[in-house]
Amino acid sequence: MSLSANVSYLSLSRFHGMLSRECADELLGGAEGAYLVRESQRQPGTHTLALRFGDQTLNYRLFYDGKHFVGEKRFETVHDLVTDGLITLYIETKAAEYIAKMTTNPIYEHLGYTSLLKDKMGHRLSRGHTEPRRVTFQREDSKITTSPLVRHSTLKDCPSEKQSSYDKIHNFKVHTFRGPHWCEYCANFMWGLIAQGVHCSDCGLNVHKQCSKLVPSDCQPDLRRIKKVFSCDLTTLVKAHNTTRPMVVDMCIKEIELRGLQSEGLYRVSGFSEHIEDVRLAFDRDGEKADISANVYNDINIIAGALKLYLRDLPIPVITFHVYSRFIQAAKIPNPDTRLEAIHEGLLQLPPAHYETLRYLMMHLKKVTMFEKDNFMNSENLGIVFGPTLMQPPEQNALATLNDMRHQKLIIQLLIENEDVLF
């Protein structure tokens, strides 16, 4: 913003044009808390806030983008900025030693969010998700085996009887509290006029910004704060609903296995987009009570399309961004055994909710291939369909995405064909 435009937003009685630091110090006259705004001599066209505190004049570069700021906080007026700054300076100066110690003996484990979480979860059943297991691959008579070899026979579907105990980081955002507020980590007052601390938008935990770095990854999302099912972070959703996998995945797969495994072109043939959108709205509105039965959606391709849409719209893909390159590199390994070892190592790096969702989905897709004579969908065809759905590069580069498509297809194909030994 230009100098003239910025000046119009400043209190004229506080703006003193171009001044040196020495002149600003003299004008303030040593009055504690006094301030003025001047144009910088060192950088003409920019503004500096000169503020008296602790028997010295402090100088801050002043910015304006519709609101005034010198740091992260933004204020309607320079006066509010100074008031908040004086509060912060006073507390950090007079109570520096106390502030340094206030996180060393937090009440979080004893009185705060964790105890409430334990009370809330105590009556529920114990952990129900599948732990990733480390295996070694070797070939015997051209067949892949593992040690120990564990094969799955059927899909177990009882989400209502399972509890998710996955770790989840808090979704902290800077927050302005109305009235006095205390940190739920250290039990100390949160000072300032605005942006006094941070607030977890998923569970409601309120803490100092500095305390947020020490809070454990134990967020238990509150269903009342989760506004939708589609496009919601996968771990957040399963934690909020206390399931091991998203209910969308469980319900759609159950419906497809009930009446769609023999449907020609399953997952390749698209359902009507309007009806798929209706399914999405039903899940967002009704959650696990959404009716996706044949009475409402007779075409199974609508349910298959809704499942693909859900997986495609996840903010973090099932195969997460941070392991994407690991899987792509694994797909390029020529030796089949070494390649499977690399894929397995990648699976072990997935967050638990993502691992469990991928495991369950691969078991389902393996079952789909067992009906290939009817649905004409083998593991390669399913790899083509689900590769770009389950795997997305961290950076949206059209050329890189195009080059990676064959590797994405191969990864999903191998996951389907070897799901009983990879998971």
What pLDDT does 13 receive? 53
- Can you give the pLDDT at residue 213? 86
Is residue 148 reached through a cis peptide bond, with omega within 30 degrees of 0 on the bond before it? yes
Least confident span in 186-190, 241-245, 385-389: 186-190
Distances (CA, A) of 72 to 62, 85, 101, 121, 213: 12, 12, 24, 37, 17
Q: Is 56's pLDDT higher than 80?
A: yes
Secondary structure letter of residue 319 according to DSSP? B
- pTM score: 0.64
| Domain ranges for the chain | 3-98, 229-422
What pLDDT sits at residue 185? 83
Choose the CATH number for 229-422 among 3.40.50.2300, 1.10.645.10, 1.10.3720.10, 1.10.555.10. Answer: 1.10.555.10
Q: What is the pLDDT of residue 137?
A: 62
pLDDT at 3 over 80: no
> Is residue 347 very low, low, confident or very high in pLDDT (cuts 50, 70, 90)?
very high
Q: Assess whether the region 3-98 and the region 229-422 belong to the same CATH fold.
A: no
Predicted confidence band of residue 118 (pLDDT cuts 50, 70, 90): very low
Give the least confident one: 81-90, 316-325, 356-365: 81-90
Q: Which string of b and e fits 101-128 if b means at least 16 CB within 10 Å?
A: ebbeebbbeeebbbeeeeeeeeeeeeeb
* SS3 label, residue 409: helix
Q: Which of 181, 215, 186, 214 is nearest to 196 (CA)?
A: 181
The pLDDT mean for the chain works out to: 82
Q: How confident is the model at residue 133 (pLDDT cuts 50, 70, 90)?
A: low
How large a percentage of the chain has pLDDT more than 90?
45
CATH-assigned architecture of domain 3-98: 2-Layer Sandwich (3.30)
Highest mean pLDDT among 90-104, 157-171, 229-243: 229-243
Answer yes or no: is pLDDT of 143 > 60. no
Orientation angle between helical segments 300-312 and 379-390, nearest 10 degrees: 40
How high is the pLDDT of residue 181? 83
Three-state SS at 333: coil
For residues 192 and 266, which has the higher predicted lDDT (pLDDT)? 266
Q: Do 318 and 397 form a contact (C-beta atoms < 8 A)?
A: no
* pLDDT for 113: 47
Q: So what's the pLDDT on residue 226?
A: 78
Radius of gyration of the chain (CA): 29
Pick the range with the lowest mean pLDDT from 21-25, 135-139, 218-222, 384-388.
135-139
